[in-house]
Amino acid sequence: MRRLSSQACIAQIRAREAKEFDVNTDQARSVTGSDTPAPQTVDTKLEVITIPVSDADRAKRFYGGLGWRLDADIAAANAFRLVQFTPRGSSCSVQFGRGLTAAVPGSAQRIYLVVADIEAARAELMAQRVAVSEVFHLSGSRGQESGPDPARASYASFASFSDPDGNGWLLQEVRVRLPGRVEAGDTTFRSSSELAAALRRAEAAHAEHEKRTGQRDEKWADWYADYIVRKHAGEQLPL
């Protein structure tokens, strides 16, 4: 039997690995069985994220100080502790404690908190004595610039802060979702002021609607409702 040098063995192994992991489009289709993914029929809702902290009591004081709802504080001897908070208006909660994750404390970064008014959200954090950055936006080739997006476009204005371990949070202003980001049946408002702002936008748009039709719309309430739902879902607006 012919012996191969160590270099030849390594070359053969690498060639075999390259062949095994070279999955082209046709091979991928044969695995999935379709060019188009099947539509998802079961709701899978993101409910909880786990952040790594070094001191659960200190983290509990910090997140409680933000006004977040304390859902649970469960411990078993000294090996396990689970603390859960939920931000106001959020469907997703945050857990931390002991025995939950092997991640390094402070290693969770760019956790988004979406708000309707970033300047009001920042002012609230500052009132709670949280060290929060100034509001900033991204401006193409110029990169990060101070202040909110000049057009106040959704997804464009940010502010950041961290918990005592350094886990990083990012406020992002979203006023209107992009098309397809929200189901029309899921229209919700986190506060009376947010709903009032939606009603004012609908009122202004309805005034233009009546100008175009030249007559008073007796079914204005239906028009308002349709406009608000479509606007919230990023769909085509009624004329």
* pLDDT, tens only, 161-198: 999 999 999 999 988 777 666 665 667 776 787 788 88
Distance of CA 72 to CAs 75, 94, 100, 126, 169, Å? 10, 11, 14, 26, 21
Query: Which stretches of 22-117 are DSSP H helices?
Result: 25-32, 56-65
Q: How many CB atoms lie within 10 A of CB 139?
A: 13
Confidence of residue 125 (pLDDT cuts 50, 70, 90): very high
Same fold, 45-103 and 109-175: yes
Of 170 and 10, the structure prediction assigns the larger pLDDT to 170
Mean pLDDT of 134-139: 92
Confidence of residue 10 (pLDDT cuts 50, 70, 90): very low
Confidence of residue 49 (pLDDT cuts 50, 70, 90): very high
All structural domains of the chain with their residue ranges: 45-103, 109-175, 184-233
The CATH fold assigned to 45-103 is 2,3-Dihydroxybiphenyl 1,2-Dioxygenase; domain 1 (3.10.180)
Q: What is the pTM of this model?
A: 0.66
Has domain 109-175 been given CATH number 1.10.3720.10? Answer: no
